Amino acid sequence: MTDELFSLTDLDPAPPPRRRPRTPPVEHHATPSEPTEDLFAVDNPPPEPDQPAEESPPETADTRAPSTPGPVSAPPIGSRTPSSPPQGVREHASSAGNEDNPGLPALDTVPARVAGSRTLSKAPQGVREPAEGAGSVGGVGDRFEMCGELPAGTTVLEASAGTGKTYAIVGLAVRFVAEAGVDVSELLLVTFSRAATQELRERTRDKFVAVAAALADAETARDSDDELIRHLARAEAAEVGRRRARLLSALSDFDSGTIATTHSFCQRMLDELGLAGEHDPRVRLVENVDDLVATVADDLFLARYARGGPPFSVKEAHQLAAAAVQDRHARLVPDEEIGDHPAAERVAFAAAVRAETERRKRLSGLRDFDDLLVLLHEVLADPVHGERACRRIRERYRVALVDEFQDTDPLQWDILRRAFHGHATLVLVGDPKQAIYAFRGAEVLSYLDAVAHADTRRELTTNRRSDAGLLGALEHLMTGAALGHKEITVSSVAAVRPHTRLNGTVEPPIPLRLRLLPRAGAGPRNAAGFPAVGRQRARVADDLAADIVRLLDSGTHLDENPLGPGDIAVLVRTRAQIDLVRAALDRVGVASVLAGGASVFGTQSAVDWLWLLRSLEQPHRADRVRLAAGTPLLGLSALEIDSGGADLVGRLSQQLRESARLFARSGFAAVFEKLSAETELAPRLLAVAGGERQLTDLRHIAQLLDRVALRESLGLTALTRWLADRVRDPASGAVSDRSRRLDRDAAAVQIATVHASKGLEFPVVYVPFAWDSAKNPNPVTLLFHDGPDRVLDVGGPEAPGYGERKRRSEAEEAGEELRLLYVALTRAQSQVVAWWAPAYGTAFAPLHRMILGRMPGSAEVPGKCEVAPDPAVLEQLSAWAATAGPGLVAIEPVTKVPAVRPRWDRAESEAGELAAATFDRVVDTDWRRTSYSALTAGAHDGHAVAEETPGSDEPAAPAELDADAEIAGAAPSLMNDLPYGAEFGTLVHGVLELVDTDAPDLATEVRARCAHAIEELMADIDPDALASALLAVLHTPLGNGSLAAISSRDRLNEMDFELPLAGGDTPRAERVTLRSIAALLRRHLPEDDPFASYADQLDTIDDSVLRGYLTGSIDAVLRVPGPRFVVVDYKTNRLGTDDLTVAHYTRERMAAEMMRSHYPLQAILYSAALHRYLRWRLPDYSPGRHLGGISYLFVRGMIGPETPPGCGVFDWDPPVALVEELSDLLAGRLSGDTENGR
Long-range contacts formed by 525-531: CB under 8 A, 24+ apart: 526/840, 528/840, 530/838, 530/839, 530/840, 530/842, 530/867, 531/838, 531/839
**Is 164 annotated as ligand-binding?**
yes
Cβ neighbours around 971 below 10 Å, total: 15
Burial readout 549-578 (b: 16 or more C-beta within 10 A, e: otherwise): bebbeeebebeeeebbbbbbbbbbbbbebb
* 315 labeled part of a ligand binding site: no
Q: Is 166 annotated as a binding residue?
A: yes
What DSSP character marks residue 739?
B
Per the CB < 8 A criterion, the answer to whether 490 and 480 are in contact is yes
The answer to the question of whether 1191 is labelled as a binding residue is no
* CB-CB contact of 46 with 263 (8 Å): yes
Question: Catalytic residue among 729, 1129, 1139, 1180, which?
Answer: 1129
DSSP 147-169: TSPPP-SEEEEE--TTS-HHHHH
Query: 717: annotated binding-site residue?
Result: no
> Which of 91, 73, 93 lies closest to 83 in space, CA to CA?
73
- The DSSP element (H or E) to which 266 belongs, if any, is helix 262-273
Task: Say if residue 677 carries a ligand binding annotation.
Answer: no
Handedness of CA 131, 136, 142, 144 (dihedral sign): positive
Taking the C-alpha atoms of residue 162 and residue 828, their distance in angstroms, rounded to an integer, is: 10
Q: How does strand 889-893 pair with strand 512-516? A: parallel
Q: How many CB atoms within 10 Å of residue 1102? A: 13
Q: Quick check: 196 and 404 in contact, CB under 8 A?
A: yes
Structural Rg of the chain based on CA atoms: 36
Q: Which residues, listed in sequence order, are joined to residue 143 by a DSSP beta bridge?
A: 459
575 alpha-carbon distance from chain centroid = 16
Q: Are 540 and 769 in contact (CB under 8 A)?
A: yes
**Residue 775 labeled ligand binder:** no
Name the residue among 960, 1123, 1099, 967 with its Cα closest to residue 1051: 1123
Question: Quick one: which of 867, 900, 896, 932 has its CA closest to 1074?
Answer: 932
**Which 3-state string (H, E, C) describes 910-975?**
CCCCCCCCCCCCCCCCCEEEEEHHHHHHHHHCCCCCCCCCCCCCCCCCCCCCCCCHHHHCCCECCC
The CA distance from 1212 to 1210, in Å, is 7
Q: Is the peptide bond before 1123 cis (omega within 30 degrees of 0)?
A: yes
* 3 state SS of 827: coil
Q: Distance between CA 125 and CA 582 in Å, rounded?
A: 47
> Known binder of ligand: residue 1129?
yes
**Could you tell me which residues are beta bridge partners of residue 1177?**
none
Cβ count within 10 A of residue 117 = 10
Do the Cβ atoms of 909 and 637 come closer than 8 Å?
no
- From residue 1075, alpha-carbon distances to 192, 646, 1067, 1236 in Å are 69, 39, 18, 9
Active site residue 1129: yes
**What would the 3-class secondary structure string for 835-886 be?**
EECCCHHHHHCHHHHHHHCCCCCCCCCCCCCCCCCHHHHHHHHHHHHHCCCC
Nearest CA among 70, 76, 89 for reference residue 495: 89
533: helix, coil or strand? helix
Distance CA 520, CA 874 (A): 14
Cβ contacts of residue 746 below 8 Å, gap of 6+?
566, 591
Cβ neighbours of residue 286 closer than 8 Å, sequence gap 6 or more? 25, 26, 27, 28, 366, 367, 368, 734
Please indicate if the annotation marks 907 as binding a ligand.
Answer: no
Q: Extract the annotated binding site.
A: 159-166, 989, 1115, 1129
Q: Which residues are catalytic, by number? A: 1129
Known binding residues for Mg(2+): 989, 1115, 1129
* Binding site listing for ATP: 159-166
